Amino acid sequence: MSAVLQNLVNQPYKHGFVTDIESDVAAKGLSEDTIRMISSKKNEPEWLLAFRLKSYQRWLKMEEPTWSNVHYPKIDLQAISYYAAPKQKPKLKSMDEVDPELLRTFEKLGVPLHERMALAGVAVDVIFDSVSVATTYKDKLAKIGIIFCSMSEAVNEHPELVQKYLGTVVPTGDNFFAALNSAVFTDGSFCFIPKGVKCPMDLSTYFRINTEETGQFERTLIVAEEGASVSYLEGCTAPEFSSNQLHAAVVELVALDNADIKYSTVQNWYAGDENGVGGVYNFVTKRGMAKGVNSRISWTQVETGSAITWKYPSVILRGDNSVGEFYSVAVTNHHQQADTGTKMIHIGKNTRSTIVSKGISAGNSNNSYRGLVRINPKAAEARNYSQCDSMLIGDQSSASTFPYIQVRNNSAKVEHEASTSKIGEDQLFYFAQRGIDAEAAVSMIINGFCKDVFQQLPMEFAVEATQLLGLKLEGSVG
Amino acid sequence: MIYQNSKVILEVRGLCASVNGIEILKDLDFTAKSGEVHAIMGPNGSGKSTFAKVLAGHSAYEITSGSILFEGKNLFDLAPEERALAGVFLAFQYPIEIPGVANSQFLRLTYNTVQAQRGKEELDPLEFDDFVREKMKLLEISPDFLDRNVNEGFSGGEKKRNEILQMALLDPHLAILDETDSGLDIDALRIISQGVNKLANKDHAIVLVTHYQRLLNYIVPDFVHVMDAGCIIKTGSKDLALELETRGYDWVSAEYQANSKTRSAGMGV
């Protein structure tokens, strides 16, 4: 790889600072006692403790999956702490009571917590290590019946809703990491959009891991009742540590009849250094249930961070005429590994799904798309279109595509397209001969490659995503 | 056209260049003045395309000795993009495909980059659209060129037209056309040649690298050079091209070798 390309892909991570704040960190290790401790710290009802303990029992019997195309030393799950929270007053009456050090942290990250300073039109729930520290616009949203708060708060204030939907999309024993999450999850966001309400602003959660050797196990649940719609954004960063942090989240979406949920992620966890030391292990289970007729669930993700990403945001198309979408850009550099994709499970009649996946690998990284399209016997007239494109930068990176297609109904139409391209010296020389330097050239090529996905992102996020790719690959000052 | 009081655009002296340790250009001398059209001909592997790429600054070639002055500036001091911004244009023999990047965007970026360098006005997408469509008319290029991705899925002739379109937009001081005529049918050849002729003027120099005399029926050169084994062994008028067409290259090489023997023998005395 030429020096030019080398420089372009070696940009530093700008969110790598650590906030010096007094934290309440639980002793390392996992046992029933740990789970009871978490549950009692959060003043949880009995049913939730039972949910956790049942999950733990299932998890004990499960094996860590090895089928994905990623390689890492075995994680010692007894060597991490399952709870870390900044010490502060137990109940905050207003944003002004939030620790100023925390406010500064999030301002530095570009997520202002004061509503007067906040991004116009976006409500934010902020998760710092294991707890939610602030939620903006909560009261305004409540006036039209929308519940947007931290999961811990929802458990106490709306237990009937949480109990009704928690674990209905991702069952406690779904997979190794989902079971672990169900046992030890600490916080996350809860959104409930009642019947007929179109959420007037984007809802957003910002996740920050700050403490070394902790795991972040957040749990997010979004429910859109009949005819409701919501656009939800998620952002994540973590400091630079030489050790690895585990992030094993579970996100569940439920869309009832005619409901519409759009979930967008810009994931920028610390990816480790150029030698592959440190970084976040991002083992996440995200799944949506398009439960009602004509419902729609759309995932858009821009994955740039993490040492390892293992993530398949999926849609179960249960309602007739329901729609599932997955738009993804996954960028890997240095020694990053990503095995990401989606599952579209067609159950209802006339269900439709679209998959657009763009993988970009630079450095020595390895980027895999893995996707399942399953058409069940009763899913008459189901349709799927998949497009999986890979781009290689330099000659040390690799890209793989693993599409699984299972069709059990003859009336289904399934299309799959795939391509691989490379940003080569020849392309950069061509741009240079037209007066365009390598930085601008790479930016133009990458943006062109990703435009089908970027145009799905809400405006603020599209800008952020473009900048993020800029930081990651172009060397521009973000 | 040869003008009086023209200025020197390109001056190459004793240029030696190699790729992977193999010397391709050997002691090459070449001069082009403003207004002139030069044709460089020669057998396969004689170093014509290498010369074109060295002028543009391709990193695969190592310059082992010699000098290149472009409008008085040492070209070796300039990176490829700086050479382009200074006014060196290479129409590629094999234009590169850039999937995902719309031609219109690419053309506007390159145009605006060069305009900014020259201290001239940059155009917004709407202004540029009008401007580029005018240029496309000149070259009989279909408007759908703008919506397609850069060279992606273009036929050979379309790629070459796209090169000439870029040349028309950038208005270079030195245009090097590397086998722009190869793979073109008669109509495409005529259109592209007309385009080049319209762009030729007294301030700029054009260097055509070609295998075939037929291009020179359309673009009449002031000088025809024969290149062999990495240097220019004969220079003549446009009639030389006609002679090459009928007699091939061997006689030129033979003549050159005989002369150089005489030269070295003479030096020995």
B43-60: per-residue pLDDT in tens?
989 999 999 999 999 999
pLDDT top residue among A433 and A134:
A433
**What is the least distance, in Å, from the CA of B253 to any CA of chain A?**
33
Q: Which domain holds residue A292?
A: 3-474
What are the chain A neighbours of B106 within 8 Å (beta carbons)?
434, 444
pLDDT in tens, A342-376: 999 999 999 999 999 999 888 888 899 999 999 99
Q: Which residues contact A155 (CB under 8 A, 6 or more apart)?
A: A42, A44, A45, A48, A162
**Statement: residue A5 has pLDDT above 80:** no
Strands A244-247 and A279-290: parallel
CB-nearest to A429 from B80, B100, B101 is B80
Mutate to test the interface with B, among A6, A431, A437, A454 (most CBs of B within 10 A): A431
**pLDDT tens digit string along A7-17?**
545 556 666 66
* Chain-chain contact of B84 with A432 (C-beta, under 8 angstroms): yes
Nearest to A435 among B96, B101, B117 (CB): B117
pLDDT category at A206 given cuts 50, 70, 90 is confident
pLDDT grade for A22, boundaries at 50, 70 and 90: low
Nearest CB to A433; choose among B56, B99, B101 = B56
pTM of the model: 0.79
Position A461 pLDDT exceeds 70? no
Q: How much is the pLDDT for A200?
A: 84
Confidence label for A468 from pLDDT (cuts 50, 70 and 90): low
Q: Which pLDDT value is given to residue A477?
A: 21
Question: How far is A472 from chain B, CA to nearest CA, in Å?
Answer: 19
A426 touches chain B (CB under 8 A): yes
Q: Provide the number of CB pairs (under 8 Å) joining chain A to chain B.
A: 72
Looking at the partner chain, which of B58, B101, B105 has a beta carbon nearest the beta carbon of A429? Answer: B58
Residues of B within 8 A of A426 (CB-CB) are 96
B99 with A421: Cβ contact below 8 A: yes
Q: What is the pLDDT of residue A213?
A: 62
Q: Is A1 on the interface with B (CB under 8 A)?
A: no
In chain B, the domains with their CATH numbers are 8-268 (3.40.50.300)
Residue-level pLDDT at B269: 42
Of A2, A430, A437, the CB nearest to B92: A430
The CA dihedral of A150, A151, A153, A156, to the nearest 10 degrees, is 170
How would you write chain A as a 3-class SS string?
Answer: CCHHHHHHHCCCCCCCCCCCCCEEECCECCCHHHHHHHHHHCCCCHHHHHHHHHHHHHHHCCCCCCCCCCCCCCCCCCCCECCEEECCCCCCCCHHHCCHHHHHHHHHCCCCCCCCCCCCCEEEEEEECCEEEEECCHHHHHCCCCEEEEHHHHHHHCHHHHHHHCCCCCCCCCCHHHHHHHHHCCCCEEEEECCCCECCCEEEEEEECCCCCEEECCEEEEEECCCCEEEEEEEEECCCCCCEEEECCEEEEEECCCCEEEEEEEECCCCCCCCCCCEEEEEEEEEEEECCCCCEEEEEEEECCCCEEEECCEEEECCCCCEEEEEEEEEECCCCEEEEEEEEEECCCCCEEEEEEEEEECCCCEEEEEEEEEECCCCCCCEEEEEEEEEEECCCCEEEEEEEEEECCCCCEEEEEEEEEEECHHHHHHHHHCCCCHHHHHHHHHHHHHHHHHCCCCHHHHHHHHHHHHHHHHCCCC
- Give the pLDDT confidence of B230-269 residue by residue, as tens digits: 999 999 999 999 999 899 899 998 999 888 877 766 554 4
Q: What pLDDT, on the 0 to 100 scale, is given for residue A103?
A: 65
CA distance B207 to A279: 54
The residue among B54, B58, B98 with the most chain A CBs within 10 A of its CB, best to mutate, is B98
Please report which confidence band the pLDDT of residue A80 belongs to, taking 50, 70 and 90 as the band edges.
Answer: confident
Amino acid type, B8: V
Domain count, chain A: 1
Inter-chain touch A436–B113, beta carbons under 8 Å:
yes
Residue B218's pLDDT is 92
Q: How far is B112 from chain A (nearest CA, A)?
A: 10
What span, in angstroms and rounded, lies between the C-alpha atoms of A357 and A452?
9
Question: Can you tell me the mean pLDDT for A77-84?
Answer: 81
Nearest to A434 among B58, B105, B166 (CB): B166
Q: Report the residue of chain A nearest B114, measured CA to CA.
A: A435
Q: Which residue of A has its CA nearest to B116?
A: A435
Highest mean pLDDT among A41-45, B27-31, B96-100: B27-31
Q: Which phi and psi (to 5°) does residue B177 adopt?
A: -105, 105
Range of A9-18, A262-271, B206-215 with top mean pLDDT = B206-215
Do B85 and A425 lie within an 8 Å CB cutoff? no
Average pLDDT over residues A228-248: 77
> Who has greater pLDDT, B18 or A464?
B18
In whole numbers, what is the pLDDT of chain A averaged over residues? 83
Average pLDDT (A135-150) is: 85
Higher pLDDT, B181 or A222: A222
Q: How far is A469 from chain B (nearest CA, A)?
A: 16
pLDDT, tens only, B97-143 = 998 899 999 999 999 999 999 999 999 989 999 999 999 988 889 99
Question: Among A426, A437, A449, whose Cβ lies nearest the Cβ of B81?
Answer: A437
**DSSP calls for chain B:** ---TTPPEEEEEEEEEEEETTEEEEEEEEEEEETT-EEEEE--TTSSHHHHHHHHHT-TT-EEEEEEEEETTEEGGGS-HHHHHHHTEEEE-SSPPPEEEEEHHHHHHHHHHHHHHHTT-----HHHHHHHHHHHHHHTT--GGGGTSEETTT--HHHHHHHHHHHHHHH--SEEEEESTTTT--HHHHHHHHHHHHHH--TT-EEEEE-S-TTHHHHS--SEEEEEETTEEEEEE-HHHHHHHHHH-SHHHHHHHHHHHHHHHHHHH-
Tens-place pLDDT, residues B57-96: 999 999 999 999 999 999 999 999 999 999 999 999 999 9
What whole-number distance in Å separates Cα of residue A93 and Cα of residue B41? 83
pLDDT value of residue A436: 95
Confidence of residue A1 (pLDDT cuts 50, 70, 90): very low
Contact A433 B84 (CB under 8 A): yes
Select from B58, B85, B90, B101 the residue whose CB has the most chain A CBs within 10 Å, as the one to mutate to test that interface.
Answer: B101
Task: Tell me, yes or no, if A20 comes closer than 8 A to chain B by beta carbon.
Answer: no
Q: Are A288 and A319 in contact (CB under 8 A)?
A: no
A87 in contact with chain B, both atoms CB, cutoff 8 A: no
Q: Is pLDDT at A164 greater than 50 in this prediction?
A: yes
Q: Is A434 on the interface with B (CB under 8 A)?
A: yes
Q: What band does A476 get if pLDDT is binned at 50, 70 and 90?
A: very low
Q: What is the per-residue pLDDT across A115-132, written as a single tens digit (0 to 9) for each?
A: 444 444 556 677 666 566
CA distance, residue B50 to nearest chain A CA (Å): 14
The verdict on a CB contact (< 8 Å) between A444 and B105 is: yes
Chain B interface includes A7 (CB < 8 A): no
Is the CB of B80 less than 8 angstroms away from the CB of A433?
A: yes
Q: How many CB atoms lie within 10 A of CB A403?
A: 17
Which pLDDT belongs to residue A375?
A: 97
